[in-house]
Amino acid sequence: MDFGGCVERSSAMSLESKEVLQEGISLVLSQWSALQMAVRHECGGLDSRSKCDELAATLLSWFCQSKGFLSNLNIAWDSFLAIAEQLLLMHEDCLCGNYYMIQKLRR
């Protein structure tokens, strides 16, 4: 996996990096059509939107507190695998202060 050519990577993420990663996670989840359809149709109940927001917060927490365990995920569901890979790459980039992927999502 290419992490954007980051030479030095800190295990601790700066406040700026956390904020940008949080935005990136929200952008990725907002573009995940299967998740958005489930939210729209309230497949998770009347609080589907809040559950989606909780998922974003949980992902951010995992990334900010993880000790590398997320990089070993084996996911069977193809769309979730693509999302997981994108989030892992964003996390690694944010550790290096590289926000290109998130800037690209903003467009």
Non-local (6+) Cβ contacts of 22 within 8 A are 56, 60
Give, in order, the Cα–Cα distances in Å from 8 to each of 41, 66, 76. Answer: 44, 18, 32
Digitized pLDDT (tens) for each residue of the chain, 107 residues in all: 444 555 555 667 889 999 999 999 999 999 999 899 999 999 989 999 999 999 999 999 988 886 555 455 554 456 778 888 899 999 989 989 999 999 999 98
DSSP assignment of 21-86 equals: HHHHHHHHHHT-HHHHHHHHTTTT-TTHHHHHHHHHHHHHHHHHH-SSGGGG----SHHHHHHHHH
Per the listing, tokens 């700026």 go with 16
Give CA 22 to chain center in angstroms: 7
pLDDT at 11: 63
pLDDT at 81: 80
Burial class of residue 33 (count of CB atoms within 10 Å of its CB; 0-12, 13-18, 19+): exposed
pLDDT at 16: 93
pLDDT at 69: 54
pLDDT at 75: 47
pLDDT at 5: 52
Give, in order, the Cα–Cα distances in Å from 37 to each of 33, 42, 48, 72, 103. Answer: 6, 8, 10, 28, 25
